[in-house]
Amino acid sequence: MSGDGRARTYILGAGLAGRSIAEEMRRKRNPGAVAAFLDDDAAKIGTKIDGAPVLGPILDVVELLNKAPQDEALIAIPEAPREHLKQWYDLLKQAGFARIRILPSLSQIIDGEAHLIQAREIDPLDLLGRTPIGIDLRESLAYLRGKRVLITGAGGSIGSELARQLLAGGAERLYLLGHGENSIYEIDRELRTLQEEGVGERATVVPVIGELQDPHYTRFILHRMRVNAVFHTAAYKHVPMLESNPVEAVKNNVFVTQHLVEAAEEAGCERFVLVSSDKVVEPTSIYGATKQLAEEIVLNADGTRMRFMVVRFGNVLGSRGSIVPLFQKQIMRGGPVTITDPRTARYFMTIPEAVSLVLKAGGVGEGGRLYLLDMGEPLPIREIAEQMIRFYGYEPDVEIPIQYIGMRPGEKLTESLYGTDEQPLPSGTERILGVERNNRSPAELAGLLKELYPICFPCPEHLESYRNRRELRQAIARHIPSLPVSCHEPEY
């Protein structure tokens, strides 16, 4: 502890990121804020950085530290493998550090320049899944320098991370569009705070509250913004919820995409990227079916003046409505942690890595193409649950029970990233695959949308169809045979 009684920080990592954090801490707090650096590099161990010693190797010295109960640990090694993070976390926790924080992945640190405001409490997501790849965001985002970029669903998990990373891209303006006032307020406030602390470049951030289900509004706003690039993440995503609300799913996921594509074409946008899901592959849920139709709308768009493309990937760790936040709440309540089936497995990727790859694909991708993110191998859901329970200091099935509750409507045991009529091919970019596929003909797609329109929107000549969910499901199933139709499906 420093002489004035303040907590000091032990920084794991004496590299550029760790040194950046230490220099900022000294500038903003006090000269003794950094107690020491911990590192495994033999060339650094035994040296000093601005008076703070570099100790190591990490696993050997943590238990020997002469620290105070208030002292903190900050992991400043953004490229660290997951297995190392797990070892360090367990060791730091056993050593009794009052607080353990971590810097974000390399995808959020530009040219090694880290900022204290980016540090956050370590959580289970940092220890799950595979080690993300490092992506040079400044290079990846060169295609957006000086451009006006629109993010739909900017208050959601993917949209908000897109916004954070786009701060580094040199865009002229970032439009944060959503229909949820509070979520847009939160990401707008966060971006402004990051900018005040020196993160990213000085893009003008513009929060926009609006309803994309209104095609007149969509056309107006796209013309008004003079947008160069659109990243379309807005969608309803909760599979069981949408099984009970299929008409709203189609309105929001299908027709919003159609409105946005048409408005982007008319406004002369240069680039349009749809964020999609592995649920589109032979979908058994309304959600998957709506995202498949959204993909086809984008891939069938007129790409003579602009690039329309789709980036498809599986689950991301920690997104809203995903299992990780649910498991966290269940563990905090003392359990049980609920899993649908012991055989259930899913692809997983961290949100920052997925977003970095989406941004990369948006630059290297060609118009009219579908791209897949290489998600690695699927992880058993039970394994995720067990790791999370242990992170919070409990033993699975002993202190926190795991309970199987059965599959819910629209769910699958496993997911696939591509269908039997799709062929993944190397794209030339690490962890991004191109896909050869047979698109539904534009005429067939237009015919289906014409069928679905009077079900979603009131039309005087088809009032008997309005909000008829049975008719809607039957219409979609004629075009997507994998979607089940129950004889018990209610009309409304």
- The amino acid occupying position 130 is R
What is the secondary structure of 53-76 as a DSSP string?
EEE--HHHHGGG----TT-EEEE-
Check 237, 251, 279, 412 and give the catalytic one.
Answer: 279
Q: Where are the alpha helices (DSSP H) in 104-152?
A: 137-140
C-alpha closest to that of 174 among 391, 470, 195, 182: 195
Rounded-to-integer distance, Cα 364 and Cα 413, Å = 33
Per the DSSP assignment, residues forming a β-bridge with 112 are: none
Tokens matching residue 49: 């950085």
Yes or no: say if 120 and 38 are a contact pair by the CB < 8 Å rule. Answer: no
* Inter-helix orientation angle 286-299/442-456, to 10°: 130
Examine the residue annotation and report whether 329 is marked as an active-site residue of this protein: no
Contacts of 451 (CB under 8 A, 6+ apart): 475
Rounded-to-integer distance, Cα 424 and Cα 207, Å = 37
Number of other CB atoms surrounding residue 107 within 10 Å: 28
Number of other CB atoms surrounding residue 243 within 10 Å: 20
Active site residues: 279
